[in-house]
Amino acid sequence: MSETITIKKYPNRRLYDTSQSQYVNLDYIKQLILDHKDFEIVDSKSGEDLTKSILLQIISEQETSDEQSLLTNSLLKQLIRFYGGDMQVFVRQYLEQSLANFLKQQDVVQGMMKNLVDATPMGMFGKMMEQNMDAWSKFTQAPKDKDSDK
């Protein structure tokens, strides 16, 4: 089980990773997310959890480019309609479960694609070459038999 990284946010808006003893930026936080690292961001004075606001800031920066945007105006309007309503909790659970299932399916499809590529003639040829190179490396690195030199 990995340890939770604590990042402190100071009044000057700087972020400090206490596990690395260094100041960090939003790109660093994004990389923690991509690396599946567990972290929390807290206010340096009050200890208040600021993780959500920093995550929203990262999303907001990503959403400025229409080419990379995930959240369309229509989707954002639909989400806003659920705030404060009876279905808010259910929508949150549905979105979390849907994204988790999507990621699982993506892993399955990527595994199937890798197997498909490996099964092509070029993939099999590449595997054979790799095995031959491994065998050759083992052969050339094997200790010489003293009796064979006589």
Identify whether residues 83 and 120 lie together within a single domain.
Answer: yes
Domain assignment of residue 148, yes or no: no
Domain that holds residue 50: 1-70
Residue at a domain's end among 54, 70, 86: 70
Instruction: Give the residue ranges of DSSP H helices in 6-87.
Output: 26-34, 51-62, 73-82
Q: What are the pLDDT digits (tens) for 83-112? A: 999 999 999 999 999 999 998 998 888 887
Q: For residue 143, what pLDDT is reported?
A: 63
- The single-letter DSSP state of residue 144 is P
Residue with tokens 């989707």: 75
Q: What are the pLDDT digits (tens) for 20-46? A: 999 999 999 999 999 999 999 999 999
Count of the separate structural domains present in the chain: 2
Q: For residue 1, what pLDDT is reported?
A: 56
Q: For residue 52, what pLDDT is reported?
A: 96
Asked whether the whole model's pTM tops 0.85, one would answer no
Categorize the per-residue pLDDT at 121 as very low, low, confident or very high, splitting at 50, 70 and 90. confident
Q: Which run of H or of E encompasses 42? A: strand 39-43
Provide φ and ψ at 18, rounded to 5°. Answer: -70, -25
Plot region of 145 (φ>0 → left; ψ -120 to 50 → alpha; else → beta): beta
- DSSP per residue over 93-123, as a string? HHHHHHHHHHHHHHHHHHHHHHHHHHHSHHH
Identify whether residues 40 and 81 lie together within a single domain.
Answer: no
Domain assignment of residue 149, yes or no: no
Residue 142 above 70 pLDDT?
no
